[in-house]
Chains A and B, each alone.
Chain A
């Protein structure tokens, strides 16, 4: 027995969700579709941003008074992608910088985090809970707090202006330990007890019981760490002074300055790896978020 109010709510729900979903992906879709626009068309729609005057000779390339957004290019072309990949070596260089900063953090944070998580979740040692609480507090501190200690260490170790100044704090970020502990806690104690009775020590228990069971957790952590570090802004701004050592997350806008025609294409190429990884591993990422919210 459904009331009228219920039926109205049900009828409104789907269109409302569709509208919100469109808002959610609109900026992303716009970036991708406009990547296929010709330089002329981009100049026409976005010229107003550069303060370009509307008195040029070419009518089609004349900018509109204000930005006019077109989701679908009049004529799609692959030329912007070619321009970025072939004629903008800076793009590939900075893309490579992003890779060199992100991959070591993702790999090592997962390795270090999984090992430590086993100790925190399944082994007992004095001061365990207090130490974990310190990790937890550190995890919640924003960059505005942690960058100052990071800087002091980087200076003492001579890491300033090197990737180490960014990579090492990333490797030891407490988040990796926290998330993996949530997954390791889910491994039933009975399994560990069983191998212990069979005479296996903590090392074999880790290798043969814990490690195989927390693979989904490692996948989740890798994805979340990739998302966060592919997007790093605060650390490179402070720790890297040379422009061509910067990752794309900081310098993308700078290399396409004045070349709006290829800006969307380079933005699309830059977001492609992380978006594809997300679509491929979405279930892991979702499980990672869910587990992080469970009281461990």
Chain B
């Protein structure tokens, strides 16, 4: 009956002691300054600013480089996350059953996650440079070389690199989710004549819902870190197709343009917050559907 007891003063005091350091830091470094960010986004200058309503947001939106960066970052999440999801789920299904070298495969697919970007950027350059190895290979096969990093292809290259780095993380999530699906249920369906596709659709897929939800959320978070690769391979001013929000923010930091910085941060926070709450709701509905 612990649940029904209302929190005692003593327990709350203990909780505050344990929570104290974290809460102090969280308030000081995240919550309060984010409040300041919201405030700055509605005034014209940070010091003794005048309330300007939505002006900063309007100017932000009028800036072509912001729209480009914002659109690219969202497009990257929109393309990269589903591709990563499909790739890692496929891999998890391949590795699901007991098989030789299963652990070794998991290790190998996880390795890209831990390797620092700066260590590996050289290889991407050597591969995707105009004079790089892939074009060398294409030339010897009689195909035309492609300017991988300075054209629309750069978006695809970055998607590939993103999948390469993060596939292991999602793989581990999906393998854990698959392990939780009762084997008897699959066996019973199999005896009843359900084929592999039918079994996947009505047992495996709903069973994976909670893990899928988390995988999507974490993939969105990591999709915004693809800046690291872009920056290391293509520098501060990459091709238009991979000019991301972080590039834009870096430029605004150079000139300390508070109105743009703060309104961009608030806008992105709203978009992420909305995406996450939609996903939360979808997950709850999926869970209720499978339980009820």
Contact = CB atoms under 8 A, between A and B. Distances in A.
Interface in A94-146: 112-113, 115-116, 118-120, 123-126, 128, 131, 134-135, 137-138, 140-146
A147 B25 contact: no
Contact of A233 (B26, B28, B37, B232): B232
Contacts of B132: 48-49, 66-67
A172 B132 CA distance: 42
Contacts of B172: 286, 289-290
A183 interface: no
Contact of B11 (A174, A202, A270, A275): A202
Contact of B210 (A48, A49, A295): A295
Given A115-B22, A252-B118, A141 B227 contact: no
B157 interface: no
Interface string B133-144: 101100100000
A268 interface: yes
A231 B276 CA distance: 26
B147 to A, nearest CB: 13
Given A172-B26, A293-B211, A24 B167 contact: yes
A249 B29 CA distance: 23
A177 interface: yes
Interface in B5-32: 7, 10-12, 14-19, 21-23, 25-26, 28-32
B291 to A, nearest CB: 12
A270 B272 contact: no
Nearest to A27: B123
A242 B227 CA distance: 21
A258 interface: no
Contact of B116 (A46, A169, A271): A271
B126 A28 contact: no
B214 A292 contact: yes
A250 B269 CA distance: 26
A163 interface: no
Given A172-B29, A270-B118, A116 B112 contact: no
Given A125-B15, A144-B249, A289-B172, A65 B116 contact: no
Contacts of A279: 107
Nearest to B117: A231
Interface string B207-247: 00011001101101100110110011000000000000110
B136 A68 contact: yes
B95 A286 contact: no
B34 A149 contact: yes
- Interface residues of B toward A: which range? 35 or more
Contact of A148 (B7, B29, B37, B119): B37
Contacts of A234: 227-228, 246
A116 B23 CA distance: 8
A91 interface: no
Contact of A24 (B31, B112, B117): B112
Contact of A123 (B11, B123, B124): B11
14 contacts: A24-B164, A30-B123, A49-B131, A65-B131, A123-B11, A124-B11, A140-B272, A141-B268, A144-B268, A148-B264, A168-B29, A238-B250, A238-B253, A263-B122
Interface of A: 13-14, 16-17, 20-21, 23-25, 27-28, 30-31, 46, 48-49, 51, 64-69, 112-113, 115-116, 118-120, 123-126, 128, 131, 134-135, 137-138, 140-153, 168-169, 171-172, 174, 177, 189, 193, 201-203, 206, 227, 230-231, 233-234, 237-238, 248-253, 263-264, 267-268, 270-271, 274-275, 277-279, 282, 285-286, 289-290, 292-295
Given A64-B136, A289-B169, A293-B215, 16 more contacts: A20-B109, A21-B109, A24-B164, A48-B131, A66-B136, A68-B133, A69-B126, A116-B19, A120-B19, A141-B272, A151-B253, A152-B36, A153-B29, A202-B18, A234-B246, A279-B107
